[in-house]
Structure 1
Amino acid sequence: MKTENVGFDVDVPSTSVEPVVQSIAPPTENPINAALSKGISPKTLRIPAIDVEAPVQHLGTNNLGEMAVPDEIDEVSWFEPGYNPGQNGRAVIAGHVDGLEGPAIFWDLAELQPGDVIEVAGENDDLTFEIYKLESIPLALADVSEVFGYTSSPELVLITCSGTYNREWGTREERLVVYAKLIN
């Protein structure tokens, strides 16, 4: 039998060959990642070490393209366009440190220590994250990709204002960022 290939005649043998089918085991997955690959939609945030418990709002960006934050000082919000808690990547939850009325939900966030836990409850699943790093970053030097970026395992980031209040900017000059990894 002859067949045409890019203007050249090529001889193709007329014998047929049966394909060999092999059974290949699927790759082994981390059980946490397999069970929670899509993460959860957060309903409640708990931080036992500083006695915080709050419902979680689902917000995106404001009209300036910045992360939207809760209107009230006793509320927290998850950056919904980002990663879900339990999904590979950094899920971000924000809260205020203070307001005109005084201390806010994340007033004591700076007291947390590596090893403290953060619990996020969803509709059917609860996740526990362990804090591994805290840092206060000057607002002008904040690296958005570091805070909101992809990681190969599920992480949670809490963020609030810190440092001196700058009247010209209308905000504090730093951001306190708490990084935690999924442990359960």
Structure 2
Amino acid sequence: MAGWVIASGRTLGILTCSALLLISATLGQTGRVSSAKSVPFIVEDAVNVGSAQSNVTRPAPAKAAGDEHVPSPAAPSSAPETSPPGNLTTGQSLSIPQGGSGIVPPEDHGFQFQKATPVRMAPVRLQIPTLHVDARVESVGVTETGEMETPSDFWDVGWYRHGTRPGDNGRAVIAGHLDSQDGAAIFYFIRDLEPGDEIRILLGGPDGERVFTVRETAQYPAAEAPVEHIFGPSDHPELVLITCDGDFEGADAGYSDRFVVYADMVVTQEQANVEPSG
């Protein structure tokens, strides 16, 4: 993840955020913002990844149709595991390094991830019409060291399979890369989402589509992102997208802020007649 790359006169930080999403479990202040970027997760102490040499603010390019890459459809992911590796507690931090280095989460956490019901299939695609995003969804778990894995491709997104499935009661967490050495990645324009925008999740098998609408977006200082509000339980189906924002502060610190999109599922009449899961 070397240093910096110059493309068309722009200077881009090489994916310390995409390579390493650090989220402190310490409660912080929330606030709506209109700009952000993206990346993935782990459960434990911060891990330093990559190397960079400058402290700059990555400029925000204007969104334009065609800027987003649409990956080729892929076969549905295999059925997710149903046993989460553990729980989280305030005071810890979350990170999703690109290469897969992290720490095994302890067993005595402050709250438990909701176990997803085994009947619902894993998500296979995420679509955001207003951003022209149509991404393959990888089911990501944890590495041998306990770290939450990141998508293997910069144009895929990663669903945390040890948590809630999209459409079940609880918060389903999906992360995507902000950028790479080649430029923007799948969640580069996620900051442009506004309340009411649709996010569609296609599930494998006969489970069909789940539609969510953005409720709010929030920007947090990296050390103050509320982990329990991102991963914690909910009495209705929610979707959480995560990315980075703010200033790139070097390899050790990464990006200064975190950007989170919170969305609620739109329940159809057919779904309302089915007993809630989760």
In which range does the TM-score fall when normalised by the shorter chain? 0.7 to 0.9
Q: How do 1:109-148 and structure 2 match up within 5 A?
A: 109-123=190-204, 124=206, 125-148=208-231
TM-score by length of 2: 0.50
Would you say the 8 A contact 1:38–1:87 is kept in 2? no
Unaligned runs of 5+ in 2: 1-116, 268-278
Q: 1:155 aligns with which of 238, 256, 260?
A: 238
Q: CA RMSD in A?
A: 1.9
TM-score by length of 1: 0.75
Q: Which residue identity does 2:176 align to in structure 1? A: G
Q: Which residue identity does 2:215 align to in structure 1? A: Y
Q: Does 1:176 align with 2:242?
A: no
Q: Corresponding residue for 2:182? A: 101
Question: More deviation in 153-162 or 61-70?
Answer: 61-70
Q: 2:247 aligns with which of 158, 164, 173?
A: 164
1:166: how far off?
A: 2.3
Change (3 A) 1:46 1:97: same
Would you say the 8 A contact 1:89–1:152 is kept in 2? yes
1:62: how far off?
A: 3.8
Q: Corresponding residue for 2:67? A: none
- Percent identity between the aligned chains? 38
1:176: how far off?
A: 1.0
Q: Which residue identity does 1:90 align to in structure 2? A: R
Q: Distance in 2 between matches of 1:90 and 1:73?
A: 23
Q: Which one has a larger percent strand, Structure 1 or Structure 2?
A: 1
1:72: how far off?
A: 2.4
Would you say the 8 A contact 1:90–1:148 is kept in 2? yes
Q: Distance in 2 between matches of 1:156 and 1:37?
A: 18
Post-superposition CA distance 1:86-107 (Å, at most 9, x none) = 1110000000111111111001
1:66: how far off?
A: 3.9
Q: Corresponding residue for 1:47? A: 128
Secondary structure of 1:140's partner?
Answer: helix
Q: Distance in 2 between matches of 1:72 and 1:164?
A: 24
Q: Corresponding residue for 1:69? A: 150
Q: Distance in 2 between matches of 1:112 and 1:159?
A: 12
Q: Which residue identity does 1:153 align to in structure 2? A: H
* Structure having greater relative contact order (Cα 8 Å, sep ≥ 6): 2
Q: Distance in 1 between matches of 2:119 and 2:244?
A: 29
